[in-house]
Structure 1
Amino acid sequence: MWCSEYLGWVNSVTRVSDTRAPLASRSIVRDDFDTLPSQENCHLAWAKVIAGYSLREATFSSDLLPALSGLARLFSRAARSNYIAGMWESELYRELMWRIQPPYEQPFAVPSSLNSLVDILNSQSPFVAPSWSWVGRKQTITPCSEWEECGLPDFGGGNVSRPRYTLLKATVTPEAEDEFGRITNAVLSLETHAFLLGFDFEKDPEDPMLRWGRSKDSFYNLYIDGRDGPRLRLMLDWLPPEVEWDPSQEKEVMSGLMLALIGSSVVSEAYSDHPSEVERHQKQENLERPFGLVLYCDPRSGRYLRVGVFAVATAALNVAYELPYVKFFEGCELKTFEIV
């Protein structure tokens, strides 16, 4: 919110500004910071901040990072990590796995096609945030705070995750000296195993190598079933029309989608007795569930953009035979990306 002397943000747990000390209030991170929370609790609390912050609509997009800067300063002492465009460097590989909320929980408009999403990401003026940061999006965000059986990492202790990349480094250029304020540029350097979807819509439509379908809970989730590969769920940053959507209508852009492996996870012992996990653990111990970014190379600029995330299709976890999952990606080409 704008006040006479500062820009700030208010929620039910605390009130902070970009220039003033926090007011006394109920907060998951103590206002006086005499007792710092653990790093894990700090990141879980930050995930909840992200979820609440994304529900609000800023008058000017350029105010998003400054409005959050006061709170970010508070968290920085507990996070003990560099602040990078709304995320923390020490947990970047997990925090990158945010996603757009399902349509039935989404109060804001979502791009209806990949083309429109790319246009939005390329038309920021002034620059707000890179495509891989949740800050620059005008939709409500689901961060990695709750357990997901599909294998997305979380800070609640449900999935034990580990990185699978060779290199992950973010370079951010602040507008001024303040690392928590506005930025003018940001690049994510990533070296990892990646799989080019390479859709061929001229093939027999019955060919099961690439088969699309909608999930029951979120119709913008898309599934890919490979005969010789893992069954994956794509959670995209755009929302295809609900009725009779045909991905071949966007075949030029869809054929450029790249799945870049970021990490993998296994269900923790604390969650292994969850009803949906008991039978799976009997079939296969410590099932590694890969997750990563869905990237698109814009032919106009040659730059890679983050356009979604992927994980394991939960239906695939019910099969009795072993699917390749992580091994599939380890057999893919090792590629280097510069993501903006």
Structure 2
Amino acid sequence: MRHTAAKLLASVAIAASMATIAAGQATADPSVTPAAQDIVGTGSDTIQAVLNQFSTDYNASLTAAGDTTSPRLYSWDATPSGNITPKTGASSIARPNGSGAGISALNNNTNTTVDFARASRGPQSTDPSTDDFVAFAKDGVSWAGNTNGNAPANLTTADLYGIYTCSITNWNQITDVSGYTGPNATIDAYIPQLNSGTRAFFLQAIGGGTTVTPGSCVESYTPEENEGTDSVFSDVNSVFPYSAAHYIGQTVGGHTTSTDAPGNLTLRSVDGVNPIASNALNPTFTASNYGRTVYNVVRDAEFNGTGTQATALQNIFGTNGWICTSSTAAADISSYGFQALPGFACGSVSHS
């Protein structure tokens, strides 16, 4: 039964993967070194693909309008490791991988280097109050297991809490999932690296709002988030947090690369709620503790300031900006698996 459920989930995703992809071909890292005035960001792996598409489409909209002078939008991927020079005249910095690293790069540099950070988590008490977390879409974080492995199609919050705190270490200890009889096999729980916003959010969600400290049974190796192509996921006992939106973007939207793909993993349910409904994020799931808002983080003094940079930041990220009002941006958000925010929630600002 457990294998059948997993295969059904996989077949639905594969069948849907022929869906239409958003217009325009998004690139990864900028194909040119951005100009000093351009709006440049780094950070989260989860939202890098949709930001790459935003960059392609926003810049194309300026060109189509005959605007040759306004700052363009660019976004650097979270990987590979190494140094990058984010824009013309900037110092070389270590490539930020993850929401936390992107936010640190924003706060440790000026707009001569970076202008925003991609963040798949909300503000934390350790973030400067001068950071504006500007909302743009909704996501949900679930978990994934090896498609033909021993994990069930559903785990409860209590199960996930037990797995990541080591009170549950064997599949035969999962007794609260209807129709599932777990084999006598050790669960191999993986988690993304420390700067990952998905890691931070998931550990808080399974703790019911209190951040869980992973136990000693959790694997020390930290795979790149939302990439089931890592060879460790050939492990039939693997469990790994996974962005539901990113998974939908990979499968339904068809937005994959050789590494950025589900690979051996299939997305699963939590507390009996499937993260996916009708090939999109399930509103019931995103309304649960596993739903999250994703953000672009900017410096408040610049976002609410004057001059060319402030105008560009508002024109891109603000409530009346391109991301929140353009039909092209709305199509990008949907194609990459995210859910539009209601009303004027897009462009709204949160602080620590």
Measured against the shorter chain, the TM-score band is under 0.3
Of Structure 1 and Structure 2, which has the larger fraction of its residues in strand? 1
Of Structure 1 and Structure 2, which has the larger fraction of its residues in helix? 2
The normalised TM-score by structure 2 is 0.26
Tell which has more relative contact order, 1 or 2 (C-alpha 8 A, sep 6+): 2
The normalised TM-score by structure 1 is 0.26
